Amino acid sequence: MATSPCGISAQLPADEVTRLQSLESFRILDSLPEQSYDDIVTLASHICGVPIALISLIDSERQWFKAKVGVEVQQTPREQAFCAHAILNPADIMEVPDATLDPRFANNPLVTGEPGIRFYAGAPLVTPSGSALGTLCIIDRVPRRLTPPMAKALKALARQVVRLLELRRALAELETLAQAQQERQQQLEATQRRLDQVILELAQQTMTDSLTGLKNRRAFDQILREDSSRMARTQSSLALILLDIDGFKAFNDEFGHVSGDEALQQLARVLQAQARAYDRVARYGGEEFAIVLPDTSMAEALGVAERIRQEVQDAHWPHRPVTVSLGVAAARASQDSLTLVARADKALYQAKATGRNCVVRDTEVV
């Protein structure tokens, strides 16, 4: 031990490195006051009949008070700490009946000045691993000794301080784990949202014609099935327009497939512009297109078809005028979707056979 103006300095515990690591793991230093710790020092002061009681934790350079009765300071240098001596013998209470007669403390500023320590008793706060983090200590300004019941009570209260520290650390670990789980859940949810978006985009790709941006044949079949089922449930009407570009093979032969693709894209834009908001336009195949018209009578569907035919005829086309032939069919709940397609296709065939650039309605009575 070395002598200093504070008296005889305490040597470091043999497990100082692991002791400090254990103390740090509790994350207690410089924490705010807590009632449970304050209650313990109040009990210690009352049971032992002393004016001062402290929960003192020994850091590398200081002793810091988690709870205190009878003093205002929050910490003192380690070299002044009685508790720095007490933790050297974790198994026993360190008792100093009269500090002025103890060479370790006689010149200590805490003895010669405020708070004027004469009596000290400290029960080490020992973790299950055996490290002494500090003490539960009691102090008086007059010489005295502990009675056996007081010593027993002081040890019991010291054990409760350690239990509180362990509970505090366990709660902190649970909070950290809960936070990590929450962050993980948020990551999983974000991943799921991205996955859902990718699935949606892939689904849209599988249901979209890459050239025109319209629904493709697969999407058309699904739409028609869904609308047919709804028609059966609600006893509503359903109409279908099939249309074909007139002489498209010759157009491709004359102007090339690139120009043919451009014509298909332009026609797709015309169809989208002329269809109603709730109609669904699809590329049925090649130069053939389809428009599903829910809740639509034959007369209404013929009006849409004629408007489309006229708009295509009047549009400006880069190479030569383009026209379309259209077949229209309508049905009610008694007819399935495949029959509706067959009837619209038959009407389209008749339109192409009778001169093209015209609208032909299905004449079957439904």
Q: Kindly list the catalytic residues.
A: 287
Residue 62 in tokens = 């200081």
Is residue 348 within 8 A of residue 324, CB to CB? The reply is no
Crossing angle for the helix pair 217-234 and 337-353, to the nearest 10 degrees = 120
- To the nearest 10°, report the CA torsion of 173, 174, 175, 180: 90
189 phi and psi, to 5 degrees?
Answer: -65, -40
Residue 329 in tokens = 């069919």
Is residue 282 within 8 A of residue 208, CB to CB? The reply is no
